Amino acid sequence: MPTAEQQVVYGHYTSDGAPRNINPGFTPHDFHTWNETQQNSTANPSVNKECWYLHGQAANSAYTIRNTAGAATDEHQFIAAGGFRPYTGIEEVLDGAVVGTALTAATPVVATSVAHGFLVGDIVRIYTTTGMLQVAGLDFVITVVGGANNYTLGTIPGAGFAAAATAVTAHRVFTPRAYEPGARIVTNVTAANPGVVTTNINHNYQTGDRVRIIIPAISGMVELDQQVVTVTRLTATTFSIGVDTTAYTAFAWPTSAQAAAGVLRPQVIPVGETGQDLSDAIDNTSFQGIHLGTNVCGANNDVIRWRAIRGVTI
């Protein structure tokens, strides 16, 4: 019979109610969670007490043990969504679709989506933004959660858009970016001295980093195109560039119709650090592990204990 070294890693976390990634240092063949807070529960059938994943089962599924509705007993259940998804370090991980009814043409942009479940700091990929296609297919960071049915995409200057979106679909993005600091989409550049750049998600740049600004003609401020500038970090999504942009062409977004036909996006790309020889992103932030979806991550403040095992299939 074939034998192999078995890897076993244990851990725990206090849940914030949101899906998360667990990084045991390998892609597990067997992953098991125990909800310590809910183990003795007899009246909470919506929360799983135990959940596990076995190698080969469908992505986002899980075997679970939970309270039986209306009874002080437990039941086993197999769920097909919101479960576990192993991650090998190369594929993209998106959470399920969250469908909404509107994006405001305002600064900042506010989305309406009933019971969205998002948190401040989540990165979401936006699709099907009817009437506001210039933001479709892009990632944005959620800057404010205005309640169960609204969230704010604070890096979009939507006040200049011709119309609001009458629909929106968002997926929470869990894919670790393999190397940081990385390229980002530019959502605004101020006409100021110095100019200030806003990025679609947290840029992770530090003061002194050197970046190249790429501005296609449709985005207006072409005078800045291909310039290599030095970053002065201001916030997680903004930095100044040491360039007087006061007299430059105003930065602009494409119209929804132009975006539907296909456009290039303005970008910022790291090229190194002041006084150093670095010429690319060098911090490898990728990992191998498992993603815990909405039905297995635990409710807010639940203590979740987990065990990850990697062995051999025979």
Residue partners of 276: CB distance under 8 A and separation at least 6: none
pTM: 0.73
Read off the pLDDT of residues 135-144 as tens digits, 9 standing for 90 and up.
Answer: 999 999 999 9
Q: What is the pLDDT of residue 282?
A: 59
Instruction: Note the pLDDT of residue 314.
Output: 67
Tokens 């990084």 locate to: 23
Q: What's the rounded mean pLDDT across residues 34-47? A: 83
- As given in the structure block, the two tokens for residue 199 are 């990025």
Answer yes or no: is pLDDT of 279 > 60.
no
Task: Name 35's bridge partners.
Answer: 304
State residue 159 phi and psi, 5-degree precision: -65, -25
pLDDT mean across residues, the chain = 88
Most confident of 69-78, 86-95, 127-136, 281-290: 127-136
Coil vs helix vs strand at 198: strand
Cα 25 to Cα 4, 7, 20, 28, 307, distances in angstroms: 17, 10, 15, 9, 12
| pLDDT band at residue 29 using 50, 70 and 90 as cut-offs | very high
- Helices (DSSP H) in the chain: which residue ranges? 256-261
The residue behind tokens 């929106």 is: 168
Mean pLDDT of 14-18: 88
Report the distance separating Cα 165 and Cα 142, nearest Å.
17
Q: Report the 10 Å Cβ neighbour count for 79.
A: 18
Cα 19 off chain centre by? 11
CA 54, 56, 58: angle at the middle one, nearest 5?
A: 95
C-alpha of 82 from chain center: 16
DSSP 259: H
Place 1 in a pLDDT band, splitting at 50, 70 and 90. Answer: very low
For the stretch 65-88, pLDDT in tens is 988 876 778 889 999 878 998 887
- Give the Cα separation of 138 and 128 in Å (integer): 11
